Amino acid sequence: MTNNVNDFKARLTQAGITLNEPITPAQLQTPWFVRALQAFSGWLAALFLLGFIAMGVVFVAESPAASLGSGLVMIGAAYGLFRKARSDVLEHLALAVSLAGQLLIAWAAVAFWSESAYPFWSLLGWSLLALQSVLAVVMPSLVHRTFSAFSASLALYMALAVNAMAPVVSGIVMLALTMLWLNEFRWPGRIRDVHAWSYGLLIGLLVMQGVAHIGQSFAFWFDAQNTNVFAWSGPWLNAVLVALSLVLLLFYTLPHPKIHWGLYLSPIGLLLISFYAPGVGQGLMVLLLGFAMSHRLVMGLGVFSLLMGVGSYYYWLDATLLTKALTLLILGGVLLALRWALRKWLASLKPTTKGVADEE
Amino acid sequence: MASTRRELISLIEQGAIPPEQVTRAVQSSGLRPSPRAWALFIDRLLLWLGGLALAFAVLFFIAYNWAEMSRWLRFVVMQAAMMLAVGVAIWPMTSQMVQRVALTSATLLVGVLLALFGQVYQTGADPWQLFFSWAVMTLPWVWVARFELLWVLWLGLLNLAIGLYFHTWGGPFGVLTSSDAALWGLFLLNTLALATWEWGARYWGWPRQWAVRLLAVGSGVPVTLLMMTLLVDVGLVGSPVLAVYLFWLAALYGVYRYWWPDLFMIAGGCVSSITVTTLLLARVLLWEGDWQEGSLMLISIAVLAMGAGAVVWLKRLHRELAQ
């Protein structure tokens, strides 16, 4: 481990980077699954805490104003705890208090918007999106930021699903995710925050894909679906946003002047794939993003998303299985032909890259 | 890849890399893949996507109930596709990666062939025999491919077969009730697979990255569910489930704390214990007692304490293991 670090430092020094003496000691990063455990127990505790509030202090649950007020006070208290928290126990307590506070605010929003003339789910979605976005930025806790980013993506889904624009949300989240990863090192003091938001959005993206996969069981929520005049544009907008994410990725990570022109056609390919099989396009984009960032976990989730996308494609009702089979046959043939052409091109390029063609 | 990322971030956070040089440090750290690495990645991606698209094309084609096409023609198409995949795999000029893609496609196609057989001869919808025969017939290919993804896929098939078998027929073991039999079957299969894989990793150098973790989840989820079922049905009483669960927790801790340190496994054990203990508390305080607000507060505090305790302990272990 120490040798690796020294090799790495030597490489940086060779590249002309002057390394300072460390100002702070090296911090060991908490593994993602420990954070997940923390969030899991925080949620579980928050649910029981909420049960306590609902039973013990009934007037809070019965009055939207009291519910809202207590929710805000609890989130404020959680903020204070997070600021002071120097131990995991306090951080944990703060998380549970904040989650219970958020549930109380959501409860107040449900009571408040249910009497409104506008679509209820849309109003609820927008208000939760605003709340979670603020919390994701403000709360000084990585677990909280991840959770809030995740909830914000689902709230946006809820807000837009009523207008039959749910497919666009995946595209918006994908674009946000790409921009976050591409700017990972832009603010050196906020690298961990960027990671926390990215993980939250990525989990949200996968959950939305899962919801789309089991699809119709949620239709009763959104009775206004398909009545919107812009409904047709949803899948297209999603495809355009996913393709735009690839354009950004190529632009920022491949500034190499000798890039083959064919690569510039890839966003168009991704656009078409994302339109006809949104899950496949999304999975591919996450996979490419993970590779570009050298992030194995993101790559693994990309493969998972890709497999889930292929599964959804089977149940896609707008085309017969015969059409799908022929599409896949042509696609498979084109991809293998592309690979063959790529190897030919690499082999003809120069001796140093020729090795790629033989390497497995 | 992961270590470069970790080292770079660690140096930035320590302030060793001046903020104005971070961009250059990222460029020269090797974190971003080189054009050559991109070429290799795209090469593999195209190969995998192309190979799997062709295999799925056959699957979708067979699933389409085409009245004009006779059953024999369907079998011919199916078997020709399978022979083609196997032919590519055994062709002497084939590289290892192409062989793996071809054998994975061939393994998928065996399932399609069996499904076609079931469709033509009306053997029932997704019976356990289908997945079991699929697993048995493809074992030789999985064996020669020496490829962890294919092994996991194969174990997934066995999981399905065993789950469906016990779900249909109940348990052959006297002590087990039929409703829990599927969970027992999955637990035993995945625990055995996990032990074999770990043994292979220890003595034969098998890769153990994500696959063993997946198997551990496959072992832990059924045993936790069995324990939860016991608590819901009868409460905490002397039962084989309790003994097995406690032994499983102890073995998990012993193996992954001392023999082959792996924090993920221990964290999984913590999640399982927290879930089971919370359910036990809920049973004792809520369903057996009366619903009082104080009980809910008590459970909330208990969950908080367990979660915080687990996180503190895991972080300490993480520091120890990192040294």
Q: Mean pLDDT in chain A?
A: 81
- Phi, psi (deg, nearest 5) at residue A129: -60, -45
Chain B, window 221-260: residues with a beta carbon less than 8 angstroms from a chain A beta carbon: none
- All residues of chain A having their beta carbon less than 8 Å from the beta carbon of residue B49 are 332, 335
Q: Mean pLDDT in chain B?
A: 84
At B27 the pLDDT is: 79
**Whole-angstrom Cα distance, residue B145 to residue A81?**
54
- All residues of chain A having their beta carbon less than 8 Å from the beta carbon of residue B24 are 15-17
In a domain, A14, yes or no: no
Cβ distance B318 to A8 less than 8 Å, yes or no, reads no
Q: Which of B310, B220, B227 is nearest to B274 (CA)?
A: B310
At A342 the pLDDT is: 83
Q: How do residues B129-188 score in pLDDT, each as one tens digit? A: 888 888 898 888 888 877 888 888 888 888 888 888 876 665 554 444 445 778 888 899
In a domain, A161, yes or no: yes
Q: Is A226 exposed, middle or buried (0-12, 13-18, 19+ CB in 10 A)?
A: exposed
At B179 the pLDDT is: 59
At B203 the pLDDT is: 84
Same domain flag for A44 and A82: yes
Same domain flag for A109 and A150: no
B277 contacts A48 by C-beta, under 8 angstroms:
no
* Interface-testing mutation among A17, A265, A285, with chain B (most B C-beta atoms within 10 A): A17
Whether residue A324 lies within 8 A of chain B, CB to CB, comes out as yes
Using DSSP's 3-state secondary structure scheme, residue B210 falls into coil
Tokens 């239709």 appear where?
A219
Q: Grade residue A355 by pLDDT with cuts at 50, 70 and 90.
A: very low
Tokens 């460029």 appear where?
B27
Same domain flag for A207 and A137: yes
Q: With 50 as the cut, is the pLDDT of residue A162 above it?
A: yes
Number of domains in chain A: 2
Portion of chain B with pLDDT greater than 90, in percent: 17
Query: Which chain B residue lies closest to A316 (C-alpha atoms)?
Result: B60
In a domain, A299, yes or no: yes
In a domain, A7, yes or no: no
Residue B253's identity, in one-letter code, is Y
Same domain flag for A69 and A137: no
Largest CA distance in chain B: 73
At A353 the pLDDT is: 47
Distance from CA of B9 to the nearest CA of A (A): 8
Q: Determine if the pTM surpasses 0.90.
A: no
Same domain flag for A234 and A92: no
Same domain flag for A162 and A291: yes
Residue where a domain terminates, one of A65, A83, A115: A115
At A227 the pLDDT is: 58
Q: What is the mean pLDDT of residues B60-82?
A: 82
In a domain, A308, yes or no: yes
Q: How do residues A205-219 score in pLDDT, each as one tens digit? A: 999 888 776 654 444
Extended strands (E) in A157-275:
none
As given in the structure block, the two tokens for residue A146 are 């991840």
A157 contacts A169 by C-beta, under 8 angstroms:
yes
- All residues of chain A having their beta carbon less than 8 Å from the beta carbon of residue B28 are 11-12, 15, 17
| Domain interval for residue A138 | 132-342
At A291 the pLDDT is: 92
At A224 the pLDDT is: 47
Q: How do residues B98-127 score in pLDDT, each as one tens digit? A: 888 999 999 999 988 888 888 777 776 677
Q: How do residues A68-118 score in pLDDT, each as one tens digit? A: 898 999 999 999 988 887 767 778 788 888 988 998 899 888 888 777 767
Q: What is the mean pLDDT of residues A115-139?
A: 86
Same domain flag for A178 and A272: yes
Q: With 70 as the cut, is the pLDDT of residue A1 above it?
A: no
CB-CB: which of A29, A41, A336 is closest to B50? Answer: A336
At A77 the pLDDT is: 93
Cβ distance A51 to B296 less than 8 Å, yes or no, reads yes
Same domain flag for A256 and A149: yes
* Interface-testing mutation among A28, A48, A260, with chain B (most B C-beta atoms within 10 A): A48
Cβ distance B11 to A19 less than 8 Å, yes or no, reads yes
Same domain flag for A106 and A156: no
Q: Grade residue A223 by pLDDT with cuts at 50, 70 and 90.
A: very low
Same domain flag for A181 and A322: yes
